[in-house]
A and B are shown apart, each in its own frame.
Chain A
Amino acid sequence: MTSSPEIAMPAADPKDPYAMPALMPSSADRAIRSFDYADFDIPTRKQEDFRYTPVERVEEFFQPFASSDDVTATVGMIDGSALPDTVTVRTASKEETGVPAVGEPADRIEAIEWAAAPSELVIDIRADTPTPVLVDVSGHGLDLAALHIVIVARPHVRADVVIEHTGSARLAEGVEVTAMQGSELSVTSVQEWNDDSKHVGGHRLRIGAEATLRHSVVTLGGDVVRLRMDQDFDGPHAKSDMLGIYFVGAGKHYEHRTMVVHNHPECMSRVIYKGALSGEHAHSTWVGNALIEPTAPGTDSYELNRNLVLTKGAIADSEPNLEIENGNIVGAGHASSVGRFDEEQLFYMESRGVPERQARKLVVHGFFKELVDQVGIPQIDDRIMATLDARLDESVAAPIAEKADDGTANNNENYAHNQEEN
């Protein structure tokens, strides 16, 4: 590692690795990037990035395939109105130059997706667009499909894009988002797949100088959903918000990996992912990587993941990783927790006349409400809360998290890799 001369690089303090730069030899972000899937090994659980992934359930996405037509994507406005002339939508060939895409695939799944996607769906937002743009991605069958979406907000443009995934599909999807200088863009990806669906892929995000990107992921349906988000900056004084909401039912695996790279000065990033789990073998994974490079003095970064385990037999993996290579920062923090809704809380509320189902609802609403509001798309707020309710109702018959009468909390069943608040 070399560092620019004006940036002091004091030695790391092993007792307080976050106070001083840790001169770590390698970084997730310096892993291979390539459009050629042959450059990546076939994922196994031995690889760091796939440690928590049930690879056998997504292995069909590890080998090249020809995309079927089982998944369609149509672009309109969220209120059903016609596309305004501030938004240009077109299908571009992948060879076309001038499509301002973000970067190369970061893992084999993304590289395979790139190879399989027949073209790119480009959504170019050239002026302020007050009504959210809706990308309706519908699955009509389980033949493998690949989809590549490119979203660009031109300089100083304000706009919102919602990508909605519904139906039944096995989809590899790549989304590239560029928020150009001074723009204010939000991109919200909602996964409300049917139970038979699988969805893998990644979002590659770049935020220009003075721009703000609010990137939200809402995963409420599907058998397996595995998304990685790789975000970096293209200039100073930019802001990144990455929000995530998930509700994992019995037997499902939802995995979200966020990678924030601070590569420019005085940028701010906030990663907030919250999830609830309910039912046997419900499994969630959140891995939050944040890298603060020597070129990013004045960085302010924070990541948080909270999990609410509603029943026995659900597992939430939560792992924040911070790499700080710059001593001159405003802050770099993380917090991660796995909490259980327990019998005592339920009894307390019931003893005040509140029925069990409603008590659970209160807790789940309280857990998510603020974050749903922060996603900031009023047109989908109510639906997200309603879907959360429906998912909860489906799982209410399941036994509750913990029988307290044996006096032993079942921490092993619901473990966190990091339960400290920092």
Chain B
Amino acid sequence: MSTLEIKDLRASVETKEGRKQILNGVNLTIESNTTHAIMGPNGSGKSTLAYTLAGHPKYQVDGGEVLLDGQNLLEMTPDERARAGLFLAMQYPVEVPGVSMTNFLRTAVTAVQGKAPSIRTWTKELSEAMERLRMDPKFAQRSVNEGFSGGEKKRAEVLQLELLRPKFAILDETDSGLDVDALRIVSEGVNRAKENTGMGIMMVTHYTRILKYIKPDVVHVFAHGQVVETGGPELADVLEEEGYDKYLPEGTTESALA
């Protein structure tokens, strides 16, 4: 049983116009085996929250804490956070030319598990995991994410999620850009990972359609860099009906504010 606690997290980014505050005191606690959906307007800071948790150097933490089972994540480098059990499936996965998927995955699994998997079981595990996600085996030989379609990149993220077996997974719009079949396949991958590991999930999404496959225990509304409302799964349906207007100052959109 693990806990990820985010307390009053504040973060900013350096822009051409100067420093810009994006996270304005985020409070959120996620336990193992629970799924939290985070929904909110464009530009409200959801990806920034995800990146800040994972340790992206672009985002400066200005206050607050993040504890994984009491360990202060904010003092760790990104790779240390991953080894502590955090995983981020990115909204826009990065291409790494020249590094093959298979070599990268093996290196990552070795780093996270602290020892290299035996060649024989590893090859089998990888090909089975890829097959379950309906990924062509040829992808293993291709460079990491290079030339992958949007949907293929998302599958590759979930493949890593399954292989790395984190304690907590942050899924940043993993459902965006997926066709109906891919949505189901990817969701099944996430559910499998959760069943196998009992991980906690923080799932950023704009659409209720994925919530049919990955059932959230809690739904949060995220606006102007904060969690502004928390409810049960039914909150997602209300948001779908009514939008985010009531969470925004009158006559503005979040993007115009930002």
Could you list which residues of chain A lie within 8 angstroms of chain B, going by C-beta atoms?
A: 339, 343-345, 347-356, 358, 362-363, 365-367, 404-407
Contacts and interface: CB of A to CB of B under 8 A. Distances in A.
Given A348-B90, A355-B111, A363 B55 contact: no
Contacts of B77: 350, 355-356
Interface residues of B, number: 36
B82 A353 contact: yes
Interface in B81-119: 81-83, 87-88, 90, 93-100, 103-104, 107-108, 111-112
Q: Main SS of chain B's interface residues?
A: mixed
Given A348-B90, A348-B96, A353-B111, A362 B58 contact: no
A406 B95 CA distance: 21
B108 A366 contact: no
Interface of B: 13-16, 54-58, 77-79, 81-83, 87-88, 90, 93-100, 103-104, 107-108, 111-112, 143-144, 160, 164
12 contacts: A347-B55, A348-B90, A350-B77, A352-B82, A353-B79, A353-B112, A362-B104, A365-B99, A366-B98, A405-B13, A405-B57, A406-B14
A350 B82 CA distance: 8
Contacts, number: 90
A363 B98 contact: yes
Given A345-B94, A351-B81, A367-B98, 20 more contacts: A345-B95, A345-B96, A347-B78, A348-B93, A348-B144, A349-B99, A349-B104, A350-B77, A350-B82, A352-B104, A352-B111, A352-B160, A353-B164, A355-B111, A358-B111, A362-B96, A363-B98, A365-B99, A366-B97, A405-B14
B108 A354 contact: yes
A-B pairs, 5 with minimum CB distance: A366-B98, A353-B82, A348-B94, A350-B78, A353-B112
Given A363-B98, A363-B99, A352 B15 contact: no
Nearest to A357: B79
Q: Main SS of chain A's interface residues?
A: helix
Nearest to B77: A350
A344 B56 CA distance: 9
The residue among B58, B77, B81, B87 with the most chain A CB atoms within 10 A of its own CB is: B58
B241 to A, nearest CB: 35
Contacts of A343: 57-58
Contacts of B103: 362, 366
B57 A352 contact: no
A366 B107 CA distance: 13
A407 B111 CA distance: 31
A310 to B, nearest CB: 12
Contact of B58 (A345, A349, A405): A405
A356 B79 contact: yes
A388 to B, nearest CB: 13
A339 B83 CA distance: 30
Contact of B107 (A345, A354, A404): A354
A352 B145 CA distance: 14
A404 B104 contact: no
A366 B82 contact: no
